[in-house]
């Protein structure tokens, strides 16, 4: 199904956008010494009521009207269970939602992070009105991207292509090409 | 972060030429970004669309997204809406199909019927 954590991140941010968030914070923490990959997505969307929060992990629960299944969050729950990690969800009506996934770095069933820049460019292109901050820390070093930096450039696909290139290069410098 | 300065430089260079596409766009390309769409490859399809538009320097198109429409088995779904024409929904749009849809439908007004899932008048 979804083979990269970066695709799950895109899917989780889609939930935030569907909840009318105007700001989404994506935080990735990779700590090999602690054997941990932590993904945390915080939004300022409409939040969930108690009933929704109770059921959000259930694949047969959704508030959308087009289909009777809601798979996004249940996938994360499954990955957490499969790898011995954890999924924490905090949500307050009218304030927003935080989803945190903690996975053991070295577990063979932990999906790779994958193409995070494609996820960011997808979000920038299709939701230019949403403020997105991405922060990744690997063993103490941090790489950050704030969509405010490219505000006003997003309506033009030629410039978006250039932004993509710059981000790929800068991110590659940060990771040293290491795939995790 | 090195890209910060790079992006600022890009932005300054761009200032003169940037027009806000969204306000003047005639044609809309809408990509399905529900969970099923993403699992079926919608992100890569979208990246191909952006790349093809940039390569061809196409100016009057805006790309947006939509959530789940309940048609999982046909994902990735891509809608093309041209002014005065019915909305065309393409199914199973791989990156390669996406590039061909741009070349044929967007540029030359030739719908690729073989990949059309549905046509909707009056949108
Ligand atoms: N960030 C969020 N803010 C508010 N509500 C949320 C958020 N994330 C999830 N939800 C609620 O939880 C439900 C289940 O989410 P989930 O991603 O599992 O399925 P879905 O989005 O409904 O459908 P799918 O992901 O399969 O397209 C959603 O319908 C929504 O009501
Ligand atoms: S559940 Fe929405 S397209 Fe499959
Ligand atoms: Mg979802």
What span, in angstroms and rounded, lies between the C-alpha atoms of A57 and A27?
21
More confident residue, B4 or A50: A50
Is 50 exceeded by the pLDDT of residue B6?
yes
| Residue-level pLDDT at B21 | 46
- The domains located in chain A, with CATH, are 5-175 (3.30.565.10)
**Pocket residue to mutate for ligand 1, from A17, A23, A72, A77, most atoms within 8 A of Cβ:** A72
The token pair that represents A95 in the structure block: 């304030």
Q: In what order do the strands lie in the sheet with A141-146?
A: A86-92, A96-104, A36-43, A23-31, A131-138, A141-146
| Residue-level pLDDT at A146 | 94
For A20, A110, B44, B68, the CA distances from A68, given in Å and listed in that order, are: 21, 28, 26, 11
| Residue-level pLDDT at B26 | 84
Cβ partners under 8 Å of residue A9, min gap 6: A26, A39, A41, A116, A119
Cβ partners under 8 Å of residue A177, min gap 6: none
Per DSSP, the three-state class of A51 is helix
Instruction: Break chain A down into helix, strand, coil percent, rounded to 5.
Output: 35, 25, 35
On whether the CB atoms of residues B77 and B40 are closer than 8 A, the answer is: no
Neighbours of B121 (CB within 10 A): 7
- The domains located in chain B, with CATH, are 22-120 (3.40.30.10)
| Residue-level pLDDT at A85 | 98
Cis peptide before B76 (omega within 30 of 0): yes
Q: Of all residues in chain B, what percent carry a pLDDT higher than 70?
A: 81
Give the tens place of pLDDT for each residue, B53-106: 999 988 889 999 998 888 889 999 999 999 989 999 999 999 999 999 999 999
- Average pLDDT per run of 10 along chain A, which is 180 residues long? 93 96 98 96 97 89 79 92 97 97 97 98 95 95 93 80 90 93
Measured torsion, CA atoms of residues A164, A168, A171, A175, in degrees rounded to the nearest 10: 160
More confident residue, A53 or B10: A53
On whether the CB atoms of residues B112 and B100 are closer than 8 A, the answer is: yes
Tell whether B66 lies on the interface with A, counting CB pairs under 8 A: no
| Residue-level pLDDT at A151 | 81
Band the pLDDT of B4: cuts 50, 70, 90: low
Binding pocket residue ranges, ligand 1, CB within 6 Å: A 15-16, 19, 43, 45-48, 52, 56, 62-64, 69-74, 97; B 34-35, 68
Q: CB A170 to CB B46 under 8 A?
A: no
Is 50 exceeded by the pLDDT of residue B22?
no
Nearest to B78 by CA among B23, B115, B26, B39: B115
- State the pairing for strand pair B78-81/B27-32: antiparallel
Give the tens place of pLDDT for each residue, B43-62: 999 999 999 999 998 888 99
Please tell me the residue having the least CA distance from ligand 1 atom 1. Answer: A16
| Residue-level pLDDT at B2 | 54
Q: How many CA atoms lie within 13 A of A69 on its CB side?
A: 11
Nearest to B2 by CA among A112, A141, A157, A155: A141
| Residue-level pLDDT at A7 | 98
The token pair that represents A77 in the structure block: 């729950």
């Amino acid at each position: 199904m979804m083979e990269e954590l970066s695709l799950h991140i895109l899917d989780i941010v889609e939930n935030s956008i569907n909840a009318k968030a105007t700001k989404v914070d994506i935080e990735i923490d990779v700590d090999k010494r602690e054997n941990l990959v932590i993904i945390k997505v915080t939004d300022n969307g409409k939040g969930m009521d108690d009933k929704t929060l109770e059921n959000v992990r259930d694949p047969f629960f959704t508030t959308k009207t087009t289909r009777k299944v809601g798979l996004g969050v249940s996938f994360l729950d499954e990955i957490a269970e499969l790898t011995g990690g954890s999924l924490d969800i905090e949500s307050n009506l009218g304030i927003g939602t935080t989803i945190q996934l903690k996975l053991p770095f070295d577990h063979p069933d932990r999906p790779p992070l994958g193409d995070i820049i494609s996820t960011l460019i997808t979000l920038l292109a299709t939701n230019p009105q949403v403020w997105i901050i991405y922060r990744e820390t690997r063993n103490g070093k941090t790489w950050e991207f704030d969509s405010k930096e490219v505000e006003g450039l997003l309506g033009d696909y030629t410039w978006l292509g250039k932004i993509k290139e710059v981000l790929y290069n800068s991110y590659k410098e940060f990771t040293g090409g290491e795939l995790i | 972060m090195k890209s910060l300065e790079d992006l600022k430089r890009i932005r300054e260079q761009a200032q003169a030429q940037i027009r806000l596409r969204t306000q003047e766009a005639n044609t809309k390309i809408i990509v399905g970004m529900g969970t099923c769409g993403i699992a079926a490859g919608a992100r890569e399809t979208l990246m191909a669309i952006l790349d093809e538009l940039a390569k061809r320097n196409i100016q009057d198109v805006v790309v947006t997204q939509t959530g789940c429409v309940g048609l999982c088995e046909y994902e990735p779904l891509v809608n093309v809406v041209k002014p005065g024409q019915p909305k065309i929904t393409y199914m199973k749009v791989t990156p390669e199909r996406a590039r061909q849809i741009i070349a044929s439908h967007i540029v030359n007004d030739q719908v690729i019927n073989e990949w059309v899932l549905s046509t909707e008048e009056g949108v």
